[in-house]
Amino acid sequence: MLVNLVVPPAGGPGTSVQVFSLDHGPGIADVGAALRDGWSTADGSLGAGLGSCARSANAFDLYSRPGRGTVATARIDPEPVRRGASAAAVPAGGITAALAHAEQCGDAWTWARSGSLVTLLLADGLGHGAKAAHASGAAVAELPHAAHLPPAEILRRLHGVLRSTRGAAVTVAQVDEERAELAFAGVGNAGARVRTGDSWTHLVSHPGIVGAYFPANVPVRRVPWRRDSLLVVHSDGLPSRWRPPEDPLLLAHDPSVVAAAILRDAGSPARPLRDDTSVAVLAPDRRTRAHDSRL
């Protein structure tokens, strides 16, 4: 189980708490039934656990496949849950996991909207611990003030902001919803892939460290952004062997569930992650919230 602090929907005030549960267990054959009160696989259970989670959270989503395990996430926002209210659509989701036994994670991510622009930022502070977390935290705190700028200009602005820190690898992906285009730029050791149709394309960052060694030129990659597109960005803590998700049932879920499934599938108890790790996902506003993994 992981607990992250995330930006609330629509960039509202305060901080949301997002709880993740990930496993490589037997999975749930009928998610719809499991969410109904009174259903349980254990004798003597009230069968109200998952239903209570869904009712208590501002947003809840669960993906499960028999034999593959389960990923569930619940987000609690500063605003209380209103009965009958639908969950606010959030185009981005992510997950961060600190190096084993570390008190703070040196990775951070966030997103912001400015008019027709939706910007996703992921930062990996140099090293580990509090100083790395300070660097990545400074980067994500600046994005709401810079989300109107193009990706390369955001990175240049962050270079000035992070000069007083140890620096970070930073990727910025920005979707212009009016032009249906994704612009990507990154400085430092981080990865990104974009899915269009059935194919995945690597998006490459430029060498350097934001806040320390900034390149004279920051290349910007532009690709079409379609209804079936999906963007995955990640820090170098994610093993290079990770495979992008192909299951259409998973891809239809909330971006935070997709990110958590990628993190889960990249490691295991026998192959633990060896670094602070973050994965963030950006999706078009095309999702229907499907609790049932068969939808």
User: What is the three-class DSSP state of 58?
Assistant: coil
Listed residue (108, 97, 12, 21) closest to 61, CA to CA = 21
What per-residue confidence (pLDDT) applies to 60?
A: 93
Between 197 and 232, name the one with better pLDDT: 232
β-strand partners of 72: 21, 62
pLDDT at residue 289 is higher than 50: no
DSSP string of 123-188, one letter each residue: EEESSSHHHHHHHHHHHHHHHHHHTTS-HHHHHHHHHHHGGGSS-EEEEEEEEETTTTEEEEEEES
Residues facing 25 on adjacent strands: none
Query: Is the pLDDT reported for residue 168 higher than 70?
Result: yes
Domain residue ranges of the chain, discontinuous segments joined by +: 86-282
pTM of this structure:
0.89
What kind of fold does domain 86-282 have according to CATH? Phosphatase 2c; domain 1 (3.60.40)
Name the residue type at position 92: A
Secondary-structure breakdown of the chain: helix, strand, coil percentages, each rounded to the nearest 5: 20, 35, 45
- Per the DSSP assignment, residues forming a β-bridge with 232 are 193, 281
Does residue 31 carry a pLDDT above 50? Answer: yes
Reading the block at residue 248, the tokens are 């259409």
Which of 82 and 25 is assigned the larger pLDDT?
A: 25
| Contact (Cβ atoms closer than 8 angstroms) between residue 107 and residue 136 | yes
**How many whole angstroms separate alpha carbon 124 and alpha carbon 210?**
10
Q: Determine contact, residues 167/212, Cβ cutoff 8 Å.
A: yes
| Better-scored residue on pLDDT, 168 or 41 | 168
